[in-house]
Structure 1
Amino acid sequence: MGSIQKRGANSWRLTVELGYDAQGKRIQEKKTVRIEDETILRAPGRLKKHLQDELKKFQFEIEAGSYMKPERMTFAAFVEQWINKFVRVDLEEKTQDNYVYHTERRIVPYFGHMHMEQIKTLHVQDYFEYLRSPAARNDGKKQPLGSATLVYNYRVLKSIFSKAREWKVIKDNPMEGVSKPREDDKKEMEVYDEKEIARLFEGLEGEPQHLRVLIMIAVITGLRRGELAGLEWKHIDLENGTLEVKQTIPKFKDGVPVIKGPKNKKSVRKIALSPNLVHELQEYRKEWRKLRLQVEDRWQGGEHEFLFCKLDGKPDDPQRLTKRWIEFHRRHGLKPIRLHDLRHTSVSWLIFKKVHSEAIARRVGHSNTKMMEIYGHIFESVDKAAAAAFDDIVVPFKRKEAN
């Protein structure tokens, strides 16, 4: 049993009756809801139904034991709700892991005991001062945390308190007035130049076929690590020399690959392959099929035929691809860069070769705006070189005028 009572211009109090205590006193739970939507406020029928729905939902939460008054809710209790109702529902797998990691690592241990309404902007400012001290480290090192860690903590806290405000748990967002920390130690992307790319391909000549194909695809197509891990033979058209990016494996969870399809049609992209890469893929396909036939009933890949997989058909963990790359560049004395930097190398090389930016963006799955954000400095240097090319015409012409 419950009731609805108007409290203000656009606020109502919901009351749920829970019987009587041992002294005969009525037990009630109350909650105030505000309605900002003018279309609901102007329609009495819709307004009545909306309030009744809110009352039913409130009553269900109480009976299920999931309702907690905002003023009684600790930060730790809210974070649990935030993870279950937002992080695990709306975010990508890797982002989920990162958000949970940072909340459990430092944020909850610091704020967990506090009630949500008690946390003010000054408390958040104090937290970032704490992060800038060696005391925030968990590894015993004496230097302060990197600025990238501070930025990620800022992002997570902003998400937590934004949801708390949206869900009416707090009235004011304590993140308002907190500036985003400067990320002054951000790792710059590294790429191979022409000589280093040549050395890389020289090193590949004596390597196993699967490793040659892995690194060649990474350099020539600019695929991300998860896209490499999720690549199957059905995505490759050797006759027409194209490859389609249709899925990704960002990580393994409990030993099982997390296979993610495209977010939308735009995220599926077709990439042209070079003749040399097509030839390598044709040879690798023959070798792959022989191994597949040898496995017979031990095959555990199901209908999937991943290019980079274990002998039983299960895909390689993305971290295993990184390990193979590290072992390769160390073996050949190449400059140590990340596997993801082969993607940057691919794009940088195309820019230097003056391939149109829209064509590059389509190839690597970026918008032109994103391309300029990441590779703007390279575009600028190429643009300056292009402008200087006119001196071949202008300088002789000026000399002629002077004479």
Structure 2
Amino acid sequence: MSRRGWGTVRKLSSGRYQARYPDGSGTQVSAPSTFATKAEADRWLARAQTEMDSGRWANPKAGKETLKGYAERWVETRLVRGRPLAPRTAELYRAQLKNHIIPALGATQLRQLETSAVRAWYGKLSGPGGPGQVTAAKCYRLLRAICTTAVDDNLIGRNPCAIRGAGQERSSERPMFSLAQVQALVDAVEDRWRALILLAAWTGLRIGELSALRREHLDLKAGTVSVKSAVVDVIGQGRSYGPPKSVAGRRAVAIPPHIIGDLEHHLAMYAQAGAQGLVFVGPKGGPIRRNNFSSRVWAPAAEAAGLPAGSHLHDLRGWGATIAARHGATTRELMHRLGHASPAAALRYQRAEQERDAALAASMSAALRQSEGMAPS
């Protein structure tokens, strides 16, 4: 047996060489395989020592668990800012795993998950036969996050998700409505839903926030709406009321004065009674269901108003952000109104600057054509 400064190498009766090293607890552990020569065993120990010293070491005997088992446990135990995943987020992650990740990679042991396999999986997912680039990017980000935790747990030595730009979504631009279209939408819905459309457009509240809104959250004298909770509908778990999706989501938003009268009318005619009464309910007095509202209220009204195909209620957030920007709202003010913690998220909804630039370019062309028309022949 020969000794190094760290670890030992011995020759076996088979003629091959075995490397042993001290793990984190000081226990002597054998390398996962033997070596043809002593030099190979020495080089393996040198690499292992370097990786341990740099904090990149992963036990070669670890990582035997399949990606499927580890990923499912990851969703159950994942913490974000010290809190478990929101029910809707956990539901989304489970769906992405079930539909797009586990069928292709789930049976693979963590330690055997190679970058080449991830690259092949992502190529199919984002290709012509896949669900689309946006879904592929979301699934890639989820897989990368799971593997990052596996690295932190010392189950694998490095993250196999190393495709540059794969997690970036390149979704098509959402439709931007005109003021006339928004007004036509308001006029197209039943009187019961008029205030909801107005509040969604002019304050940027999400459908989950609007569904959870209670009388006590509206201060029409001060002209504010306080967002303190949101509704989450999870398949198999029913409906739950909880805090907004982020700390920034808890906010008080100023209501434009011109829609205060519509809100007063709505409270008098349609909202549940009492301070805890829901502001927006269906004809039978029950809470709003996202899918029912989309199919029975939004879709026919959007068609009647001439909105682009595929428009959603959520698109009113972008409209409201752009209108606020046109009237001088800063990025920080947009972040507050929309309940976003990062400038990047808020700026996704701000299209005013680009539209102004396009209008300026058009004006310059019009001015040039006018001057050419006035030039002497």
Regarding TM over 0.5, the answer is yes
Q: Does 1:188 align with 2:173?
A: yes
Distance 1:106 1:347, change over 3 A: closer
Residues 250, 318 of structure 1: 8 Å contact kept:
no
Q: In structure 2, what is the Cα distance between the partners aligned to 1:93 and 1:255?
A: 9
Q: Which one of 68, 82, 86 corresponds to residue 78 of structure 2? A: 86
Secondary structure of 2:225's counterpart equals strand
Question: Compared with structure 1, are the counterparts of its residues 252 and 100 closer, same or farther at alpha carbon in structure 2 (3 Å cutoff)?
Answer: closer
| 1:12 matched residue in structure 2 | 26
Aligned to 2:101: 107
Secondary structure in 1 aligned to 2:252? strand
Alpha-carbon distance change, 285 to 151 in structure 1, aligned in 2, over 3 angstroms? same
Structure 1 equivalent of residue 9 of structure 2: none
Q: Secondary structure of the equivalent of 1:335?
A: coil
Change (3 A) 1:253 1:260: farther
Letter in structure 1 aligned against 2:175:
E
What secondary structure is seen at the aligned counterpart in 2 of 1:250? strand
Shift of 1:307: 1.4
Matched, 1:374 2:366: no
Q: Which string of whole-angstrom CA distances, capped at 9 and with x for unpartnered residues, describes residues 243-263 of structure 1?
A: 111111132443632212146
Aligned positions of 1:262-273 closer than 5 A: 262=244, 266-273=248-255
| Aligned AA (1:189) | R
In structure 2, how many angstroms separate the alpha carbons of the residues matched to 1:220 and 1:344? 10
Deviation at 1:315, TM superposition (A): 2.2
After superposition, what is the alpha-carbon deviation per residue over 1:173-209, rounded to whole angstroms, capped at 9, x for unaligned? Answer: 222x3233386751312121233234334x24xx433
Q: Which runs of 4+ in 1 moved over 6 A?
A: 34-38, 383-389
Residue aligning to 1:118: 112
- Structure 2 counterpart of 1:181, one-letter code: A
Q: Structure 1: how far apart are the matches of 2:254 and 2:346?
A: 22
> Quick check: 1:74 aligned with 2:66?
yes
Please list every run of 5 or more consecutive structure 1 residues that lacks an aligned counterpart in the other structure.
Answer: 1-5, 16-33, 39-68, 135-142, 294-302, 390-403
Say if 2:312 is the partner of 1:338. Answer: yes
Give distance in 2, aligned partners of 1:14 and 1:327. Answer: 71
Q: Compared with structure 1, are the counterparts of its residues 77 and 356 closer, same or farther at alpha carbon in structure 2 (3 Å cutoff)?
A: closer
CA apart distance, 1:35: 9.2
TM-score (norm 1): 0.66
Q: 1:210 to 1:13 in 2, by over 3 A?
A: farther
Q: Which amino acid aligns with 2:62?
A: P
Q: How does 1:206-221 map to 2 (within 5 A)?
A: 207-221=189-203
Supply the distance in 2 between the matched residues of 1:94 and 1:313 (Cα, whole angstroms).
Answer: 25
Distance change >3 Å, CA 314–CA 168, structure 1 → 2: farther
Rounded Cα–Cα distance in structure 2 between residues aligned with 1:254 and 1:314 = 19
- Inter-partner Cα distance in structure 2 for 1:172 and 1:356: 41
CA shift in 2, pair 1:308/1:166, >3 Å: same
Assess if the C-alpha contact under 8 Å between 1:79 and 1:160 holds in 2: yes
Which residue in the other structure is 1:279 paired with?
Answer: 261
Residue 97 of structure 1 pairs with residue 71 of structure 2 = no
Shift of 1:37: 12
Give the Cα separation in 2 of the matches to 1:155 and 1:371: 17
1:100 partner SS: helix
